[in-house]
Structure 1
Amino acid sequence: MILKITIIGLLAGVIGTGFGGIISVIFKRNVDKYLDFFMGLSGGIMLAVVTFDLMSESMDQMGVLYTVIFTFVGVLLTMYIKTRLDVSKDMKSGYLIFISILLHNLPEGLAIGSSFMSAESLGMTLAIIIGLHNIPEGLAMALGLVGSKMKISKIILFTVIAGIPMGIGSFLGAYFGGIFSSLIGVFLATAAGTMMYVVLEEIFPKSRSLYCIIGFLVGTVIVNCI
Structure 2
Amino acid sequence: MEKLLDYNPVFLAFLATLFTWFVTALGAAMVFFFREINQKFLNCMLGFAAGVMIAASFWSLLNPAIEMAEASGDIPYIPAVVGFLAGGGFLLLIDKILPHLHMSRGKEDAEGLSTNWRRSILLVLAITLHNIPEGLAVGVAFGVLAEEPSIGALMGATALAVGIGLQNFPEGAAVSVPLRREGFSRLKAFHYGQISGVVEPVFGVLGALLVLWVTPILPYALSFAAGAMIFVTIEELIPESQRGNETDYSTIGAMFGFAVMMLLDVALG
Q: What is the match of residue 136 of structure 1?
A: 166
TM-aligned CA distance change 1:203 to 1:125, over 3 Å = closer
Alignment of 1:79 onto 2:92 = yes
Shift of 1:141: 4.5
Q: Deviations over 1:80-115 (max 9, x none)?
A: 111101123433642331121132233123113444
Of Structure 1 and Structure 2, which has the larger fraction of its residues in helix? 1
Cα distance in 2 for residues equivalent to 1:186 and 1:144 = 32
Larger Rg: 2
Q: What is the match of residue 213 of structure 1?
A: 251
Q: What is the match of residue 18 of structure 2?
A: 14
1:1-226 correspondence runs (5 A): 4-5=7-8, 6-15=10-19, 17-25=20-28, 28=31, 29=34, 31-33=37-39, 34-62=41-69, 63-90=76-103, 91=123, 93-116=126-149, 128-139=158-169, 141-143=171-173, 145-146=175-176, 149=179, 151-170=189-208, 176=213, 179-180=214-215, 182-208=216-242, 209-226=247-264
Shift of 1:190: 0.8
Q: Is there any run of 5+ residues in structure 1 with no aligned partner, and where?
A: none
Contact 2:51–2:257 (CA under 8 A) maintained in structure 1: yes
Q: Is there any run of 5+ residues in structure 2 with no aligned partner, and where?
A: 70-75, 104-122, 181-188, 265-269
Contact 1:9–1:112 (CA under 8 A) maintained in structure 2: no
Cα distance in 2 for residues equivalent to 1:189 and 1:124 = 18
Contact 1:101–1:137 (CA under 8 A) maintained in structure 2: no
TM-aligned CA distance change 1:103 to 1:167, over 3 Å = closer
- RMSD across aligned positions (CA): 3.2
TM-score by length of 1: 0.78
Q: Which range moved further: 33-42 or 142-151?
A: 142-151
| SS state at 1:87 partner | coil
TM-aligned CA distance change 1:123 to 1:134, over 3 Å = same
Q: Deviations over 1:1-29 (max 9, x none)?
A: x99424333212212x0342244247553
Q: Deviations over 1:49-81 (max 9, x none)?
A: 112221111111221232022211111111111
TM-score by length of 2: 0.67
